[in-house]
């Protein structure tokens, strides 16, 4: 695969070169998933939040560099790369992207993803990450302390995994700003409508995101 162009936000080459760990389930991490020149713009453009919860992109302000990143994530190049990494056919599979800006104490609990999803990708957009908590762990079992890998939540950190019956993951309780995008390739189109509807209700009642002044 060719190196990313200077105008790209995603560092496709770094992702392509990452090794997929097969146990306890297929996953990989990359801490340079964004070209460094885009970091400050992404930090500036990500909407601020003082509440927890996930929201669809339709309910937040997606502008400038963040809009470009979303376009790249929805593009064929990124899709083909994820299909290659996990040896999964993602052609014509629906994609959904949600955003989070704030972690509550109750968030991060150990779980596996729904079988409506084929692949989950998490992208973090935080200016560094010094805290020992709030770091995503890929778990060997349903136990936050039994982990195969742990990843920072700093800007440019990408974590991707294949959704399996045992794809346990979570993070130690953390409250504060923890900005991320979650990308999911879904099994069928019908799940897209359900997922968006559920998160739009969250947006309507909680008004989680507001652009910082």
pLDDT tens sequence across 156-176: 999 999 999 999 999 999 999
The share of the chain scoring above pLDDT 70, in percent, equals: 85
CATH number of 12-206: 2.60.120.620
DSSP secondary structure letters along 108-171 = T--B---TTEEEEEEEE--S----SSS-EEEESSS-TTSEEEEE--STT-EEEEE--TT--EE-
* Domain regions of the chain by residue span: 12-206
DSSP one-letter string for 3-48: PPPTT-SB-HHHHHHPPPB-SSSSEEEES--B-GGGHHHHHHHSPE
Least confident of 1-5, 60-64, 103-107: 1-5
pLDDT in tens, 138-153: 999 999 999 999 999 9
């Amino acid at each position: 695969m060719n190196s990313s162009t200077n105008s790209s936000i995603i560092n496709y080459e770094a992702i392509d070169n990452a090794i997929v760990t097969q146990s306890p389930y297929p996953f990989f991490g990359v801490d340079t998933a964004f070209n460094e020149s885009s970091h400050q713009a992404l930090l500036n453009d990500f909407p601020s939040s003082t509440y927890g919860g996930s929201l669809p992109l339709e309910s937040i302000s997606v502008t400038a560099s963040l809009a470009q990143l979303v376009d790249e994530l929805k593009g064929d190049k990124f899709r083909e790369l994820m299909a290659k990494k996990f040896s999964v056919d993602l052609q014509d599979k629906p994609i959904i992207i949600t955003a989070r800006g704030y972690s509550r104490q109750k968030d991060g609990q150990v779980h596996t993803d729904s079988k409506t999803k084929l692949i989950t990708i998490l992208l973090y957009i935080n200016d560094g990450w010094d805290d020992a908590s709030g770091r995503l762990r890929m778990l060997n079992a349903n136990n936050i302390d039994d982990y195969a890998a742990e990843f920072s939540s700093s800007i440019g950190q990408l974590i991707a995994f294949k959704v399996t019956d045992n794809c346990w993951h979570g993070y130690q309780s953390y409250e504060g700003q923890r900005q991320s995008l979650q990308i999911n390739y879904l099994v069928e189109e019908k799940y897209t409508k359900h997922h968006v509807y559920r998160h739009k209700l969250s947006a309507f009642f909680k008004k989680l995101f507001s652009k910082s002044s």
